[in-house]
């Protein structure tokens, strides 16, 4: 690659020869049904392909068409989604399923503009559906493709900056094979995933080694450049396991804040509360819910933690046995005999259940 914008015409042949040699069987490969492509692409956001395969089959078994997905209760969808995290993706999946099923008779838009207007579909997913399902010449720009192009073209600006993204998209759109955008996009993503990997890329046998500016400038390990990550915020919650004989209680979380519409034990947040005030705060919450002053121990250290995208959640867990006459808030969900199987939960809850209640 002689200059940033002078991409060699032999690129296509080399990419095609490289792609012919690889063997990466994935269930959505060569798929042309927009529903299946969309489903796989949403599942693949922020998640490794190997992890997604089982989820993909489970979704298709339960929802073979977009109408089935549209009719699936949100609680069931969240249960299917459990473990993937980033639950907004699941909510947007449902919104889009409803729009397409109810307003478009199950037909996906067949233009990039129509696709990107749907909830949860950004430039990458719109380009993927447009090219894989409708053979439209839109280059996908996922993390793999960004890494490949930024190294090949020696891009020294942060790739998560809007102007650099535009530059990357421009280069990718110039490169795309207009007659076969689907194969080109797939090959570029595979090349980033298998050859031009984040660490230890295969530069020695790379078909583009002679043209790669990052290799020439000895910057392979430093590209792509990213801006500083958003700092992680620490938050601490106390989860209460209220028990009456063989019954425990969950709450259904609202759409606000973390874990929208998932289920947790009743919980309060004690982030930023000085230690001397934490106990009183917990005591008050218990009294407000139960009308009781129950004894408890709040350990100095939280028992579990879970890292979300920009938050680390620390969790204390307090078990309390309640007298049978205790009245609890009417919107709490009673779980009898440890049967939590119907309720979608965040990972910190599942971990607690598996370690302490279900073993």
Report the distance separating Cα 141 and Cα 152, nearest Å: 14
> Would you say 187 and 21 are in contact if contact means Cβ atoms under 8 Å apart?
no
How far apart are CB 216 and ligand SF4 at their closest, in Å? Answer: 9
Q: Which of 212, 344 has the CB closer to ligand SF4?
A: 212
How far apart are CB 171 and ligand SF4 at their closest, in Å? Answer: 13
Site track for ligand SF4 across 188-217, x = CB under 6 A: -------xx----xxx--x-xx--x-xx--
How far apart are CB 145 and ligand SF4 at their closest, in Å? Answer: 12
Residue ranges of E strands in the chain = 233-244, 247-252, 263-264, 267-269, 304-307, 311-321, 333-336
Q: Binding residue for ligand SF4 (CB under 6 A) from 26, 194, 220, 285? A: 220
List of residues 6+ apart from 320 with CB closer than 8 A: 240, 241, 242, 243, 286, 294, 296
CA-wise closest residue to 286 among 352, 239, 235, 353: 239
Helices (H), 247-323: 275-290
What's 3's DSSP letter?
B
Site track for ligand SF4 across 140-169, x = CB under 6 A: --------x--xx-----------------
Q: Which of 182, 195 has the CB closer to ligand SF4?
A: 195
How far apart are CB 330 and ligand SF4 at their closest, in Å? Answer: 59
What is the Cα 350 distance to its own chain's centre? 18
What's 86's DSSP letter?
-
Q: Which of 220, 303 has the CB closer to ligand SF4?
A: 220
Q: Look up 41 and say whether it is catalytic.
A: yes
How far apart are CB 202 and ligand SF4 at their closest, in Å? Answer: 5
> Would you say 72 and 62 are in contact if contact means Cβ atoms under 8 Å apart?
yes
Q: Which of 19, 203 has the CB closer to ligand SF4?
A: 203
| Total site size for ligand SF4, rule CB under 6 A | 15
Residue of 20, 30, 31, 41 with catalytic role? 41
Q: Which residues bind ligand SF4 (CB under 6 A)?
A: 148, 151-152, 195-196, 201-203, 206, 208-209, 212, 214-215, 220
What amino acid positions are annotated as catalytic residues?
A: 41
């Amino acid at each position: 690659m002689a200059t940033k914008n002078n991409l060699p015409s032999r690129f296509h042949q080399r990419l095609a020869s490289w792609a012919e040699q690889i063997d990466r069987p994935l269930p959505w490969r060569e798929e042309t049904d927009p529903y299946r492509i969309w489903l796989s692409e949403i599942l693949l956001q922020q998640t490794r392909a190997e992890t997604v395969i089982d989820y993909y089959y489970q979704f298709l078994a339960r929802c073979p068409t977009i109408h089935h997905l549209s009719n699936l209760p949100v609680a069931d969808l969240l249960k299917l989604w459990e473990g993937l995290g980033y639950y907004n993706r699941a909510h947007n999946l449902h919104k889009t399923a409803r729009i397409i099923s109810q307003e478009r008779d199950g037909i996906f838009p067949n233009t990039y503009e129509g696709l990107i207007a749907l909830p949860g579909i950004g430039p990458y997913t719109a380009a993927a559906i447009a090219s894989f399902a409708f053979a439209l010449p839109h280059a996908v720009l996922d993390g793999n493709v960004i890494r490949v192009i930024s190294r090949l073209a020696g891009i020294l600006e942060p790739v998560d900056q809007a102007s650099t993204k535009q530059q990357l998209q421009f280069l990718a759109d110039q490169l795309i094979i207009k007659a076969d955008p689907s194969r080109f996009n797939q090959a570029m993503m595979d090349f980033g995933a298998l050859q031009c990997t984040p660490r230890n890329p295969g530069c020695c046998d790379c078909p583009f080694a002679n043209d790669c500016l990052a290799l020439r400038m000895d910057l392979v390990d430093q590209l792509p450049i990213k801006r500083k990550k958003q700092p992680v915020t620490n938050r601490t919650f106390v989860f209460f396991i209220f028990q009456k004989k063989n019954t425990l209680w969950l709450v259904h979380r609202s759409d606000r804040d973390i874990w929208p519409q998932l289920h947790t034990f009743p919980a309060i947040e004690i982030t930023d509360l000085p230690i001397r005030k934490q106990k009183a705060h917990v005591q008050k919450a218990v009294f407000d819910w139960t009308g009781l002053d129950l004894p408890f121990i709040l350990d100095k250290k939280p028992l579990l933690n879970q890292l979300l995208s920009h938050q680390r959640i620390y969790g204390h867990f307090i078990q309390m046995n309640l007298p049978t006459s205790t009245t609890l808030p009417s919107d709490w969900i009673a779980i009898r005999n440890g049967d939590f199987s119907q309720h979608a939960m965040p990972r910190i809850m599942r971990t607690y259940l598996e370690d302490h209640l279900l073993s």
